[in-house]
Chain A
Amino acid sequence: MKFYRSHVLIGIDDASLAAGVKEFEALLRSELAKNNLSEEINILETGTLGLFGTGVSMTVFPERITYVNLKITDVTEIVSEHFLKGRTVSRLTLKSPLKKNYDFNYKNRIVLSNSGKINPEDIKDYLAAGGYEGWEKALLEMKPTEIVEEVKASGLRGRGGAGFPAGLKWSFTAPLEKDQKYFVINADEGEPGTFKDRLIMEGDPHKLLEGVMIGSYAIGATKAYIYIRGEYKLCIHRLEIAIAQAYEYGIIGKNIFGSGFDLDIMIKIGAGAYVCGEETALIESMEGNRGNPRSKPPFPGVEGAWHLPTVVNNVETIANVSEIIKKGSAWFKGYGPEGCSGTKVFTIMGDVNLPGLCEVDMGTPLRTLIDEFGGGVTDGHQFKAALVGGAAGVFLPLERLDVNMDYNSLKEYSAVLGSGAILVMDERADIVEMLFSIIRFFRHESCGKCSPCSNGNTLLYQLIDKIRKGKGKEEDLDTMIEVSLVMQKTSFCALGQSPYMPIYSAITNFREDFLARMK
């Protein structure tokens, strides 16, 4: 292996690409070459560094100096100061107390433990970080039933929104004797404000694949699909590379490690439909149809893709599995409160100083997430509300800021964890307009299969549009709650059941805002 004086890790994800990371990297390379440093300084592309700054950021090892919000105009200074003279350009470094959280955060990571540290396009990096040890252990040392039991014991719950215990889901499908079963990953991340799965797949695609392998073996599926939304180009690209490498190394394919077990992993690409995040709609889409949800029961675990038993799990859920198998369920339960074990990836955005994501223990208070990981509410402004859980989430007011972010604690406030999206709004935010945006979203995404959802969302849209234009009456607020409640009780799938939560929470917590529009 070639020896370098320094290694520079540059995070490449959609956010840094949008900030011009490619131009920055190209210039950095040419500037290093100009100073004859190309042989001394190694530049590596990695996934997200998980930093709470937006823009281009990079970490220099072995010094472990992290630079953030880099501009093309900073390149000459970094090269001449840092790489030639060995002096840190402190004006560009990550500032404490954020630094403290960044380090602290890393220790607690499970699904993002490698993200920002390894090259996601090289399986050797993943192997060096202990990758595929869980798969080897599962396949060679454990029976499928033992794996199901271990995951059950870990208390791992679905991270896509519903929070259903993953091990329990597997236990319905594992004993069924069928010629073909399927293991499917729901990577159709479409909940507004959610981008955790994208960062997991971009930063460490092999971690997802390892979970897929273990899950497939546990339920007896020899074919696995990863259904990704068509907009996630970089994820698709990196997963394609990762799958090809896994075949090349004999980690998947025929008679894996001489065990007699065969597994093929394939990618399916969506084409822009929020409803396809619903598992039965996703299956319809996989089969080449419109993404209309199916009637349940039968549940997919019994009758799913091509009417055969199919387990559908979220990306983040499955990215936990390899570590659970490697380190045991007791270790996993060391994270988070009873009944909601493990960590959770939260995405924090809106009116905060540093939008981004973090992986923390389940049950971390909302206030901590916003203040410490989001850098606090935008300087000079006050917190007004947080929309937690995406469009299908809940508006939480100031009084709820100390809620612990886990399934059970949020349930006490009739709120949901959802996908872990936190949209922070300061006093300038207009709740009426935000609710309008949410209802417009549902109206657009309703698949039209059932009347409560398609007609209900249209009616809700007319009402909120009337209110925002100053033509509403107070009783319209009650009508909106009533209509959305009927939709929650009668809609065919989760999409039509969703508008009630944001509508109810917005109107009860911020009624004055709505009334002010009627004067």
Chain B
Amino acid sequence: MYEEIFGKYTPDKENLLYILHEIQDACPQQYISSEAVEAVAEYLHITTSHIYGVITFYTMFSTKPRGKNVIRLCESPPCFHRGSERMLKKLASMLDVKVGKTTADGLFTLELCACLGVCGNAPVMMINEDIYGDLTEEKLETIIASYKGGK
């Protein structure tokens, strides 16, 4: 089932990060399964332990199933200064979920991340590939509602 992705890359270790990104993006639960790791190891002729080492090193990868939408709230100094802690509280209470966990309905996973480089609009978060800035508690309500509506 990963042949299509493998077909785009030569079997060289240097393509590992690209392949992992693609596998994770194609997975509805936004994670890299143990079956996927086995398949990548075979294709690239590297050990599964090397791949797990890489997956766990980078914050964008996950070995656990996640929600349909992954929320990544920036907690770096510029966002922290503009109230990211308040946004975190709001998100956690609104979604009734702890950091690193997925909501019961499987719609959202709440994560924290380092600087996203949109500091002029702090506080900032990313949902999947979209960036939301100048966050306020009211704005969070609207944004989350739009995803609940099936976005």
Contact = CB atoms under 8 A, between A and B. Distances in A.
Interface of A: 14-15, 17-19, 54, 189-195, 198, 229-233, 268-274, 285-291, 347-351, 355-357, 387, 391, 421, 423, 425, 429, 433-434, 437-438, 440-441, 444-445, 447
Interface stretch (B87-95, B96-104, B116-124): B116-124
B65 interface: no
A230 B131 CA distance: 13
A291 B131 CA distance: 26
29 contacts: A17-B131, A18-B121, A18-B124, A18-B132, A54-B121, A190-B115, A192-B114, A192-B119, A194-B115, A194-B117, A195-B119, A230-B58, A231-B60, A231-B113, A271-B21, A272-B58, A272-B113, A272-B114, A273-B57, A273-B59, A288-B16, A349-B78, A349-B122, A350-B82, A355-B121, A421-B119, A423-B77, A437-B80, A445-B114
Contacts of B18: 268-269
Looking at A15, A189, A348, the one whose CB has the most chain B CB atoms below 10 A away is A15
A193 B124 CA distance: 12
A230 B77 contact: no
- Which DSSP category, helix, strand, loop or mixed, fits chain B's interface? mixed
A56 to B, nearest CB: 12
Given A15-B133, A270-B58, A271-B58, A195 B81 contact: no
B121 A19 contact: yes
A54 B134 contact: yes
Nearest to B74: A192
| Shortest beta-carbon contacts, A-B, top 10 | A271-B58, A18-B133, A288-B16, A192-B76, A272-B59, A288-B13, A272-B60, A355-B120, A437-B80, A195-B117
Contact of A356 (B75, B114, B120, B126): B120
B13 A437 contact: no
Interface of B: 12-18, 20-21, 44, 46, 50, 53-54, 57-61, 75-78, 80-82, 113-122, 124, 126, 129-134
A271 B14 contact: no
B134 A433 contact: no
A391 B117 contact: no
A75 B45 CA distance: 57
Nearest to A52: B120
Contact of B60 (A271, A285, A287, A291): A271
A233 B113 CA distance: 16
B14 A15 contact: no
Contacts of A425: 81
A18 B134 contact: yes
A350 B78 contact: yes
Contacts of A286: 14
